[in-house]
Amino acid sequence: MRDCDLGPPKTREMAETVRDRWRCSSIDPAGCWHPCRADLRGCRDRSTSPAREGVMMRRICGIALVVLAAAVSMACGGRQDAGADCAGTFSVKSAGEPLGPSSALVTAVRDRSTVAGQVSLAEVATAAGWSHQWDRMIPVHAGAERERLNEAAGLPGFCWPDLPRHDFDAGEHPVFYIFIDGTTPRQAVQATTHSPLFKTSSDTRMLHPGSLLEPVPPVQSGTHTSQGYLKVVS
């Protein structure tokens, strides 16, 4: 008997054919094919047939597609595309300034943050030379949920197509102060979480022209000086 687990002796040609098919290792001098062992790289298990491998590959591909689709869905989840179900749309990054220069409002806030005493939001806007064609303002942070934002702003069904997603890897995030007149957003002023213009008790607290604000002056820490801002009086 030959020391071979394939039964009767097989020709070298048959053994080579089997080896090529299964990508297994050795053929001894007697022409016997020795099955692959668990410690051999690149060998398939003898119990795994090509048909079974095909089924396994299809399952793996199916799982990969599901995972990829979920990842794409999550990546796109923060986007709010304009469509038939939008009562209206507003670009938070619009360069339009119908109420007045955004830079003037930023300057008015920074200047007022160094003056003691309370001030109304309307007074700050007036100091910036802004029009009074607005009746409320809401701060909007990156990644805000559309339904929650619309409810807080009193704008049911509105879409915000360029509101950015929240980047968890970033240390600083954009904040948009949206001034609204009735059912129409008029203007957005952008700042950052590190250098805000206004701070409220919640991310979606509505401010009105008469809302009172108190100054938070700049603070110097080492070589860095923070920007002053106005905080809503509780």
Is 63 inside any structural domain? no
Question: What's the pLDDT tens digit per position in 104-127?
Answer: 999 999 999 999 999 999 999 999
If one counts every other C-beta atom within 10 angstroms of the C-beta of residue 203, the result is 15
End-to-end CA distance of the chain: 95
CA distances in angstroms from 36 to 17, 29, 206, listed in the order given: 15, 17, 71
Give domain status of residue 8, yes or no: yes
Does the residue 9 lie in any domain?
Answer: yes
Phi, psi of 65 (to 5 degrees): -65, -40
Q: Say if residue 102 is in the same domain as residue 174.
A: yes
Calpha distance 115→213 (Å, rounded): 12
Clarify whether residues 17 and 131 are in a common domain: no
Contact (Cβ atoms closer than 8 angstroms) between residue 173 and residue 192: yes
Bridge-partner residues for 159, per DSSP? 89
Reported as a pLDDT band with limits 50, 70 and 90, residue 86 is very high
- As a whole number, the mean pLDDT across the chain is 79
Residues 23 and 135 reside in one and the same domain: no
Q: What is the pLDDT at residue 126?
A: 98
Query: From residue 230, how far is each of 54, 61, 111, 172, 203 by CA, in Å?
Result: 65, 55, 10, 19, 15
Q: Is residue 70 part of a domain?
A: no
Residues 204 and 100 in one domain: yes
Task: Give 165 or 77, the one with higher predicted confidence.
Answer: 165
Residue 79 lies inside a defined structural domain of this protein: no
Q: Are residues 16 and 101 in the same domain?
A: no
231 beta partners? 199, 214
Tell the residue number behind the tokens 């098919």, with chain if given: 21
- CB atoms under 10 Å from CB of 19, counted, come to 18
Q: In this structure, how many other beta carbons lie within 10 angstroms of the beta carbon of residue 187?
A: 24
For residue 76, the model assigns a pLDDT of 42
Determine contact, residues 215/112, Cβ cutoff 8 Å.
Answer: yes
On whether the pTM is more than 0.85, the answer is no
Euclidean distance between CA atoms 121 and 113, whole angstroms: 12
22 and 118: one domain?
no
Whether residue 93 sits in one domain with residue 36: no
Q: Does 42 score more than 60 pLDDT?
A: no
DSSP H or E run through 3: none
SS3 content of the chain, % helix, strand, coil (to 5): 25, 20, 55
Joined together, the tokens standing for residue 94 give 């619009």
Judged against a pLDDT cut of 90, whether residue 157 lies above it is answered with yes
Expressed as residue numbers, the domain containing 213 is 88-232
Give yes or no for residue 140 having a pLDDT over 90. yes
Q: How far is CA 159 from the centre of its chain?
A: 17
Do 192 and 102 share a structural domain?
A: yes
Residue 60 in this model has a pLDDT that exceeds 70:
no
Sequence length of the chain is 234
In a domain, 82, yes or no: no
Report yes or no: 105 and 128 within 8 Å, Cβ to Cβ.
Answer: yes
Token pair, residue 31, equals 């022409």
Domain count, the chain: 2
- Asked if residue 139 and residue 35 are part of one domain, the reply reads no
